[in-house]
Amino acid sequence: ITADVAIGDGVARINRLTGNLSTRGSLSASGTVGINPAQGFPADLSVKLVDGRYTDGRVVTANLGGDLTIKGPLASAPLISGTINLAKTVITVPEKLPGSLAALNIRHKNAPAAVRAQDKALRPATASSSSGGGGLNLDVTVNAPSQIFIQGRGVDAELGGSLRLTGPASSPQAVGTFDLQRGRLSILAKRLTFTEGTVGFSGSLVPYLNLTATSTTSSTTVTIVVSGEATNPKFNFSSVPALPEDEVLAQLIFGRSMSNLSPLQIAQLAEAAAQLAG
């Protein structure tokens, strides 16, 4: 970190502040911060992010940069606003759904005071006890004209668009849409082209997928819709004329009815169904 700061008349004037981020990229800032605690340390800062990297640890990894401002009292609720520009961003559809264990509600009967205190300290705070004023607020536009990639479970697509992040930084609201630019769905050796699709955000930071692919065989037109949260999307099949889902998959992959498949082809069909189910 390098800094050039001058203090006078109750204000810290940041002429230059630069540093490297642990995840990658650099951050620089300039502006003023009031140093009177009674005023809550009012700030008026300009921040530039270059070649940064973000991951939510689950499905999203993004390369990003942008220009932001931080205004308001740092001691209470300053506002971060501006624009973030996404470069290559990957939304990964998990190949296998992770197992989960529910927390067991174990109660100690007649526990000593020391045990009760330790138990209270180890339990996560409830919403009522952790809520309160203060904290950073967001009003940030996220632009990504291209290079939003969805990958996994046979899906390979590129989208572009924008969204807006607002509200507390601890629980931001994301609203916006990325639209399909190109993409395909691979099921065994079959390749289908996505004809339309979006990735939407309606408050949650988890992307919601809605992608449609269509394929026509000699006797059937098959439509596959990939929809749902990116952490666990659903693959829905339909056809014209209408057929049961296993028949739709058989027609799509082998161009024939289930009754005409060999044992090997039936095993391959089961493999494809397992791939899509996750």
**Per-residue b/e over 98-134, b at no fewer than 16 CB within 10 Å?**
eeeeeeeeeeeeeeeeeeeeeeeeeeeeeeeeeeeee
pLDDT top residue among 106 and 80: 80
For the chain, the domains span 2-92+134-277
127: confidence class by pLDDT, cuts 50, 70, 90: very low
- The model's confidence at residue 97, banded by pLDDT at 50, 70 and 90, is low
Q: Which two tokens stand for residue 53?
A: 């990297």
Q: Model pTM?
A: 0.81
In contact, 139 and 123? CB cutoff 8 Å:
no
Helix (H) or strand (E) holding 114: helix 113-122
Average pLDDT estimate for 210-225: 91
Query: Range with the lowest mean pLDDT among 5-9, 231-235, 253-257?
Result: 253-257
pLDDT bin (cut points 50, 70, 90) of residue 115 is: very low
173 band by pLDDT with thresholds 50, 70 and 90: very high
Residues 237-258: b if buried by 16+ CB within 10 A, e if exposed: bebeeebeeebbbbbbbbeeeb
Q: Supply the pLDDT for residue 134.
A: 60
